[in-house]
Structures are given as C-alpha cells and as structure tokens.
Amino acid sequence: MNKLVLGVDVGGTKIATAVVTGEGKVISRGYGSTSAQAGRRVVIDNIFATIDKAISSSNVALSQLSGIGIAAAGIIDSKNGKVIFSPNLPGWREVPLGDTVHQRFNIPTYLGNDASLAALGEWRFGVKKQVANLIYITVSTGIGGGIICNGELYTGVLGAAGEIGHMTIDVNGPRCNCGNIGCWETLASGTALAKEAVRQIKEGASTSILEFAGGDLAKVDAKVVFEAAKQGDKLANQLISRLGYYLGVGLTNLVNIFNPELILIGGGVAKMGNLLFEPAIKVVKERAFATSATSVQIKPALLGDDSSILGAVAFVLDNLAEGSTIHGG
C-alpha cells in the first residue's frame, strides 16, 4: 500500500503530527504547543501550523496525502467529526474540528477519541492484526481506553465508547473530574497516585518521596513516586502496589465483560513496569473468571508514544477502504 496519511495527536500541552505510510512507517514529524488556555482559535491555528511542519519536512506534497486523521481526548462524535467535549481543551463544546481541518487542507479528514484510536493503532501496526479481541488502556493523568472487538474498533453509537476510566470501582470513593464518584481513574491513575502520596506525606509518613520533588509538595507526581520506589523507598513501593491493586480491579471487570485475548497498557504510568503490572495481574488471576483470566495476556503497549498518531492513520485507512466520505460533516 503506497498511501501516505498524516496523523495528528492533540494533547493538553502539545500537538504531535507525522506523515506515515500505509505500513505504519513514519516519514516525518511535527511538534507544536497546544496553548489550550488561549482558546479555540489559537489551538486550531497551532494544529494547522504543526501539520504544515510535518508536511514541509517530509518532501511530500499536500496532494500526495490520502487523508488526515486526528486523535483527541474526550467525548468525540467521530461520525460527524466533532469534539463534543474535551478535558484537555477548555471551552470546547460541539467544535467541528474535522470539518475545519478539511476546509483548510482540502483532504479527507477523520476525527476520533485518542485512546480508541490508540487501540486501533496498536492492533494494526503493533500486533499486526494477529488477535481479534484487544483492549488498549492508557494510564497517565487519567485512564482512557479503546476496544477492538472481532477485528473492528468498537465505537458505540456516536464514537464515544471506551470511556473505561469512568466505570465505578468504589461507590464511596473520591469524586472524579467527570462529576461521578469512585471512577477507576480516581483510584488507579497517575493523578490518584500523586494525591495519595501527598496525603500520606502531610500525615507525617516516613518517606523520601518529598526529597525527589525538591522539597515541594506541589511537584509530587507519579514520576517522583516511581523514582523514590526505584531507590527502595518503602512508602513509594506500597503506593505503587496499591495503584496496581486498583488497576487490577478494573482489569478484572474488563476481562469478565469482554473476554479479550490481549490487554495492552500504555501511558506514562505504564512505564513503571513490573512494580505496577505484577500486583495488577495478581488481582486479575484472583478475581476474574478462571476461563477468561487464563486466556488473556496483559502486557505493556507496543507503540509507545506513537499509539494515537498511528491509530489516527489506521482510522483514515479504514475509512478510505470503506469508501467513507465523512470529513467532519
């Protein structure tokens, strides 16, 4: 396949773009700041500029691109190319991003949820379609996910499926940014890890975590806790083990509901490796139905930080193959 596609990953702080072949080979990249607080017009201009960077450094003419795929966090109406709501983009409601980018570049443009598209990217370019049922989870500031069911991305009615970070794990748990109580991401995300560390430090726990944050409580994050754990800090290890426990509880639900062959875990927190994975997998083995638990593999994601970009590319290729003409309405 000689198609060339441009993938875009719109994050809360940065925008990453890449010109990619139909086989998933990255030809060129462009990076830019999102400047999310500056408002919609600035963000869209930054998206345009970052796309231009990737194209200009690729020696590829705009006319050679088959399509543009955009991955963004939040509730996305992928059928109509609209960002309904995004936690990363303040003030964005019902924004026709797909149509806006299409009008600027005059290339078929497709928009999807970043975690759902990451699942598609991992399935197509990571495991190379060798499994039919796969769940991708990103564990970072929050928790997102995507579901491949019988070889197809499961998107639901409007493309909003896969919000697994917001399944209730503890009915009496912490309040989530989404307004609900006890969501998975309030207990098993990087944010949850940092909050619990700060709480225990304030209560006088004996730990070196604060030293790794330069003595500043405001700088205690998941990365700092991980650094302390690697140096043998007892509390840091206990906190990551607790995080792994709650991660495992959510994974158990997914294993029982979907009976997947493979669960891939990406995002910054997944870089903690076995410190996180071992307690999580232990919970799955103890709690999930034995038939489902023994048939699933739980592994780190294969594409690293490129999951969403390559997923956006895969989304374009799939839409073009189906003859879809949707470009955001």
Model confidence, pTM: 0.92
Per-residue pLDDT of 268-294, as tens digits, reads 999 999 999 999 999 999 999 999 999
Q: Do 255 and 134 touch, CB atoms closer than 8 A?
A: no
pLDDT of residue 127: 96
pLDDT of residue 156: 87
Domain 4-114+306-321: homologous superfamily in CATH: ATPase, nucleotide binding domain (3.30.420.40)
Domain 128-301: homologous superfamily in CATH: ATPase, nucleotide binding domain (3.30.420.40)
Phi (first) and psi of residue 140, to 5 degrees: -145, -120
Burial 88-123 (b: 16+ CB within 10 A, else e): bbeebeebbbbbbbbebbebbbbbbbbbbbbbbbbb
In this prediction, the residues of the chain whose per-residue pLDDT falls under 70 are 1, 324-329
pLDDT of residue 327: 53
pLDDT of residue 328: 46
The SS3 assignment for 32 reads strand
pLDDT of residue 119: 97
Q: One fold for both 4-114+306-321 and 128-301?
A: yes
Q: Do 144 and 115 touch, CB atoms closer than 8 A?
A: yes
Q: Do 43 and 12 touch, CB atoms closer than 8 A?
A: no
pLDDT of residue 324: 65
Q: β-strand 134-139 against 262-266: which pairing, if any?
A: parallel
Residue 201: partners with Cβ closer than 8 Å, 6 or more residues away = 207, 209, 210, 217, 220
The SS3 assignment for 134 reads strand
pLDDT of residue 325: 56
Question: The tokens of 273 are what?
Answer: 């490796």
Query: Sign of dihedral through CA atoms 71, 184, 272, 278?
Result: negative
- Domain boundary assignment for the chain: 4-114+306-321, 128-301
| Beta partners for residue 148, in sequence order | 134, 153
CB atoms within 10 A of CB 225: 29
Residue 99 vs residues 10, 38, 161: alpha-carbon distances, Å: 16, 21, 22
